[in-house]
Amino acid sequence: MSSTEPGQTLAETTHDRLRKMIVSGELPAGTRLQEKPFADRLGVSRTPVREAIARLVSEGLVTRSLGGVPVVNQISISEIIEILHVRRLLECEAARQAASVNSPVEPLLALRARTQAALEGARPGPGEHAELDEELHTTIARIAGSKLLTELVQSMKLKTRIFDKGFIPDRFEPGLHEHLEILDAILARDADRAGAAMRRHLDNVREAILTHIHRLY
């Protein structure tokens, strides 16, 4: 049976569960999201499943076939390249803004400690690593002070994660070091340095994904 997180509705919890199944690859591209089977699978009624699917459609993670049946969307190579381009435009400015505002440093210090621990301790699994990566990018957008920017970054990060499953092994240590550089620049209130660090990070992400694609094809 399902259980909701504190403060969440059943539809929100159902949405989170379905989204995690899509992002992890448990529900691959082309999977049909029929209400009754998934209601039974998740232990809920059809209504929260219907509402969750509608939200996934609005996020671009699910699309409707010609017959109207919702299916998990296929993220194309051209789409992921476009997403990375837009992320570069948005997130470099977000890093600059985050370094410019007088915001609490505790969330940034906590992220830095976790990032350092990931480098020095046991290597985290793909899911844990991807969640830490997502938290860093969304936290920076949130500190920059724009709800819309935060929502856009979250949406694009999800699609990036679906494409690469959140983990390209060659990027583990370099990516974490780049995260530390971004965090240190923001903590130092150096906007130019923060924007440049984010730009280098996203350029390296793009290059790694392109290299990964070439290896596959």
Cα(41)–Cα(82) distance, rounded to whole angstroms? 35
Higher-pLDDT residue of 217, 30: 30
The structure tokens listed for 83 are 């997403």
| Residues 210 and 159 placed together within one structural domain of the fold | yes
Cα(210)–Cα(165) distance, rounded to whole angstroms? 14
Residue with tokens 């504190």: 6
pLDDT interval class at 215 (50, 70, 90): low
Hey, CA dihedral for 50, 52, 55, 61, is it positive or negative?
Answer: negative
Q: What percent of the chain has pLDDT over 70?
A: 91
| Residues 60 and 166 placed together within one structural domain of the fold | no
Q: For 93-112, write each residue's pLDDT tens digit.
A: 999 999 999 888 999 999 99
The last residue of one of the domains, among 72, 95, 125, is 72
Cα(133)–Cα(127) distance, rounded to whole angstroms? 10
- Most confident range (mean pLDDT) of 51-55, 56-60, 124-128, 160-164 is 51-55
Mean pLDDT over all residues of the chain? 87
Kindly report whether the global pTM for this prediction surpasses the value 0.85.
no
Cα(186)–Cα(51) distance, rounded to whole angstroms? 38
The pLDDT value recorded for residue 1 is 45
Q: Give me the mean pLDDT over the 181-205 stretch.
A: 96
The pLDDT value recorded for residue 168 is 66
Answer yes or no: is 3 within a domain.
no
Q: For 109-123, write each residue's pLDDT tens digit.
A: 999 999 999 999 888
The pLDDT value recorded for residue 170 is 75
Q: How many domains does the chain have?
A: 2
Cα 17 to chain centroid distance, Å, stands at 15
Q: Domain range holding 26?
A: 10-72
| Residues 208 and 110 placed together within one structural domain of the fold | yes
Q: Give me the mean pLDDT over the 25-49 stretch.
A: 92
| Residues 139 and 206 placed together within one structural domain of the fold | yes
- Residue 51, sorted as left (phi over 0), alpha (psi -120 to 50) or beta, turns out to be alpha
Give me the CATH number covering residue 66: 1.10.10.10
39 pLDDT exceeds 70? yes
| Residues 159 and 142 placed together within one structural domain of the fold | yes
Q: What percent of the chain has pLDDT over 90?
A: 51
Phi/psi of residue 24, nearest 5 degrees: -75, -15
Q: For 144-188, write each residue's pLDDT tens digit.
A: 988 888 888 888 887 877 766 555 667 889 999 999 999 999 999
Cα(115)–Cα(182) distance, rounded to whole angstroms? 12
DSSP label of 122: S
Cα(205)–Cα(81) distance, rounded to whole angstroms? 10
Cα(194)–Cα(174) distance, rounded to whole angstroms? 17
Cα(172)–Cα(176) distance, rounded to whole angstroms? 6
